[in-house]
Amino acid sequence: MLSLNGSRKEDKIITGEQIFCRAAGRSPYNTARLRLWWFCLVCLICWQPSTGWGDSGVEVRRLGLSKVGETTLLTIILNRPAEPRIVAVQTPGKPQLVVEFPQARMGRLPTRLEGDDLIVEQVQTQATEGGVRIILDLYPDRPYIYWRRSQAGIGGQSLYLLGFKPDNSAPAQAQLPPPAPNQPESPPVTTREPEGETPPPPTSNQQAPPTVNVVPGSFDELKSLLPKAGGLLQSLENDGWTISESHTYDRPGTRFSRDFALSNPKYRELAVKILYLPADAPGTPNIGIIDLTTDNLQDETASKYQELRHWDFTRIKRHYEDIGDFFEDALKPLRLKLREETKSLALSDEVVFQNFLKAASPGNPQVADKVMAHVREKVNPRFEGVQYTISENPLIILNQVDFLYVKVFYLDSP
């Protein structure tokens, strides 16, 4: 700045600390004090608050409990490999095994899963401040052996497997597993973690997947469940289809129904859906069903139709005099539009349908031509839609009622 006599002076900035020190009669340039101020300044600059503070980046995405023979398998699907804390605890009259992933996020997990009627009574999940906790409520006085293993899953995911089986050689009061520090006493169990052990094969009177040393939710599992569909499954895998979801149904220990959803980024409006139904009585076959469907279609007509299909009777009565009016005035026009739209979709992706049908019925090449001939037929507005039986071995059905799909059935002896 300029002084009154025209000379230039440098600006001086007086800090609050300097004013305070001068008022107190002390030098503001004490070395120790300056060091303290520099330390505080560096801490303020370097510390960056973050909403993800303490987040390990691990997400627990899926959880399933299944039973293979005498082995109970807890399958945990993660977005990345992670090692949980496993602790045996004792609640009043109820032994538990707690599997905890510290600082993890919880995906779409069920709050409760049914047990296996053998070792695990039920499974509960909790999202806590410390992470994700999976609690296995165990039956008392039932010694068990467990093993655990982490392995790569589909699409970069990671699988953490925890297997249990009864320890028939253990006495009634077996040695406890080592408790974690500051944890209550554990229930009477015997534990060991042998390297590379896999669950034993099922006994002859139990319905279970034929192969147990495959990754759950993988093409290897599908091929073990549906051996007759091996060619079709291999064709789908070669074409870039991936398993995006898999689920287990029915009560564990009774049946092992499985379903799978496959997706392909090249065909976003198509989907492959697979259902495996094991035999539930002697002399009956295992049933596998594979669909190539257009029900991934995303537009206004498809969204409105899907919404109306979920209306209950009370809601229908509020808008229509009777159920017949609902089907005639609401559903039928939308179905007609869907048949036109999914016909165009199937024709634009004709190669996908052709390859699917040729792989499903390699001994009958006319099947693919027959299906596509029906797809090209003019949509008749007078009909609600039609279904065609294309082949009987394997059974192949073409649906043209709403969303166009091809369904293939496979029967296998258990």
Annotate 166-197 with DSSP letters as a single string: E-TTS-SSPPPPPPPTT-PPPPS------TT-
300-309 vs 332-348: helix axis angle to the nearest 10? 130
Alpha-carbon distances of 410 from 222, 227, 276, 378, rounded to whole Å: 13, 9, 9, 31
Place of tokens 């006994």: 203
Give residue-wise pLDDT tens across range 163-201. Answer: 888 877 765 443 344 444 444 443 434 444 434 444 444
The pLDDT of residue 265: 92
Do 286 and 412 meet the contact criterion of CB atoms below 8 Å apart? Answer: yes
Q: Could you tell me the two tokens for 84?
A: 């949980």
Q: What are phi and psi of 237, to 5 degrees?
A: -65, -40
CA distance 145 to 71: 10
For 356, other C-beta atoms within 10 Å of its C-beta total 25
Compute the 3-state secondary structure of the chain and give helix, strand, coil in percent, each to the nearest 5: 25, 30, 45
DSSP secondary structure string for all residues of 44-103: HHH----TTTT--S-EEEEEEEEEETTEEEEEEEESS----EEEEEEETTEEEEEEEEET
Q: Could you tell me the two tokens for 345?
A: 């979709």
Name the segment(s) of the chain with CATH classification 2.60.40.3500.
Answer: 57-198
The pLDDT of residue 150: 84
Do 192 and 376 meet the contact criterion of CB atoms below 8 Å apart? Answer: no
Which amino acid is located at 127 in the chain?
A
Alpha-carbon distances of 213 from 140, 163, 189, 386, rounded to whole Å: 29, 12, 25, 42
Q: Which fold has domain 57-198?
A: Immunoglobulin-like (2.60.40)
Q: Which residues of the chain have pLDDT under 50?
A: 1-4, 6-17, 19-21, 23-24, 28, 42, 44-54, 172-212
The whole model's pTM is what? 0.51
CA distance 343 to 379: 9
The β-bridge partners of 135 are 98, 124
CA distance 139 to 145: 14
User: Which of 380, 239, 340 shows the shortest CA–CA distance to 231?
Assistant: 239
Do 322 and 315 meet the contact criterion of CB atoms below 8 Å apart? Answer: no
DSSP secondary structure string for all residues of 315-378: HHHHH-SSHHHIIIIIIHHHHHHHHHHHHHHHHHTHHHHHHHHHHH-TT-THHHHHHHHHHHSP
User: Going by C-beta distance under 8 Å and a sequence separation of 6 or more, which residues neighbour residue 240?
Assistant: 264, 265, 266
The pLDDT of residue 323: 81
CA distance 69 to 58: 32
DSSP state of 7: -
Q: Could you tell me the two tokens for 190?
A: 């015997």
User: Going by C-beta distance under 8 Å and a sequence separation of 6 or more, which residues neighbour residue 35?
Assistant: none
DSSP secondary structure string for all residues of 132-163: EEEEEEEPTT--EEEEEEEEE-GGG-EEEEEE
- Using CA atoms of 24, 25, 28, 29 in order, give the dihedral in degrees to the nearest 10: -150
